[in-house]
Structure 1
Amino acid sequence: RTKADVLHQLPPKRRELVVLDPSIIRSTRLNRHAKAMASTNLSSEQRKSAMLEYFHETGSVKIAALRQYVLDLIETGRKFLMYAHHSELLDALSNALSEKVS
């Protein structure tokens, strides 16, 4: 189903800030990308590239923590609707949900 098909059935959008377990999120790769982005020796094109790599990495390092969060939501029986930008994250959540039902 598409968003347009179900939007009229949904309550008003409510954004919620979720604090994830930082011990799961720590990443040396993320730190490396942050340092590269902060470097003063980069051209504007290199800085843009470093920023895009950093944003991609932020999605990757959250996968394990978000997977656990979604599985916890399911265990408690809470209804939720989740949107994500990173296809890697969407694939991981889809796999987690498939494992949960089987």
Structure 2
Amino acid sequence: MSEKKLQQEDCNEDNLGPGILTLTTKRIAFDKTKSRVMDFSKSMGETLLDIPLSDIVRTWREGLIMKKACISVRTSSGEKVYKFGVFNVGGWVDGIQDAINEL
């Protein structure tokens, strides 16, 4: 099965800062971005997260005012939690869960 992009959005992760969150049929990735106000430019930085869907333990929504799409990931040093501030929190959580189920 070839990898297909399912969702992509500018977001902010609580600890990693601003970037672009991408969900594919095989993984979830977070690429750091750098912006300049002077000329309104934005450039892609390094890929900080590249997580296979099989390593995601659970997904959930969090927050009242500042809503976040959250994932818990299995790593060699235990579980790690990432919280992404995206516009359509429910769509992201459902999309991640659907992609995991289809895997």
Higher strand proportion, which one? Answer: 2
Higher helix proportion, which one? Answer: 1
| Structure with more contact order per residue of length (Cα contacts < 8 Å, sep ≥ 6) | 1
Please say whether Structure 1 and Structure 2 have the same fold, judged by a TM-score greater than 0.5: no
TM value normalised by structure 2: 0.27
